[in-house]
């Protein structure tokens, strides 16, 4: 079945440093979504990318969708303590399939 892996599993960074998490799917995705889960909370939707090679930005966050629509990345510039949490990618495998599979997640901790 479809597998969505993320690396790294954990990342500890000094406040102000950059952070990147990578997402790789075993199958082509119709779209890629990113979620953030704060400690003790539930995942919250951040953004969705649909087109091959698409890049979107949200303030300090930059999201990319790979040309083959099988990988994606999230880059945070100049991390802040509010960025702490686990970041998940997620995607639907192909058009018409409603199964939303999440990646394994990357837990980000910030050293003040």
Partner 1 sequence: SQTIHQWPATLVQPVGSPLSLECTVEGTSNPNLYWYRQAAGRGLQLLFYSVGIGQISSEVPQNLSASRPQDRQFILSSKKLLLSDSGFYLCAWSVREWAEAFFGQGTRLTVV
101 binding partner 1? (CB under 8 A)? yes
Spatial distance between the Cα atoms of 24 and 106, rounded to a whole number of angstroms = 13
Q: Look at residues 54, 67, 63, 8 and name the one whose alpha carbon lies nearest to residue 35.
A: 63
Cβ pair 28, 70 in contact under 8 A:
yes
Cβ pair 48, 75 in contact under 8 A:
no
Residue window 45-84: x/- pattern of binding to partner 1, with contact defined by CB under 8 A:
x--x------------------------------------
**Residue 18 Cβ vs partner 1, minimum distance, rounded to whole Å:** 23
Spatial distance between the Cα atoms of 55 and 51, rounded to a whole number of angstroms = 9
- Interacting stretch for partner 1, rule CB under 8 A, among 16-24, 51-59, 70-78, 94-102? 94-102
Sign (positive or negative) of CA dihedral 38, 100, 66, 22: positive
85 binding partner 1? (CB under 8 A)? no
Closer residue to partner 1 in complex, CB, 68/78: 68
33 binding partner 1? (CB under 8 A)? yes
Which residues in this chain contact partner 1 in the complex, by CB under 8 A? 6, 30-31, 33, 35, 42-45, 48, 88, 90, 92, 95, 98-105, 107
């Amino acid at each position: 079945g479809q597998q969505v892996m993320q690396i790294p599993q954990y990342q500890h960074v000094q406040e102000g440093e950059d952070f990147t998490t990578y997402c790789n799917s075993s199958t082509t995705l119709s779209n890629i979504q990113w979620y953030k889960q704060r400690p003790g909370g539930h995942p919250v939707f951040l953004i969705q990318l649909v087109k091959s090679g698409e890049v979107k930005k949200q303030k300090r966050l930059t999201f990319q969708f790979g040309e083959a629509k099988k990988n994606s990345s999230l880059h945070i510039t100049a991390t802040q303590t509010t960025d702490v949490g686990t970041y998940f990618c997620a995607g639907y495998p192909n058009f018409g399939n409603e199964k939303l599979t999440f990646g394994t997640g990357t837990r980000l901790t910030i050293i003040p």
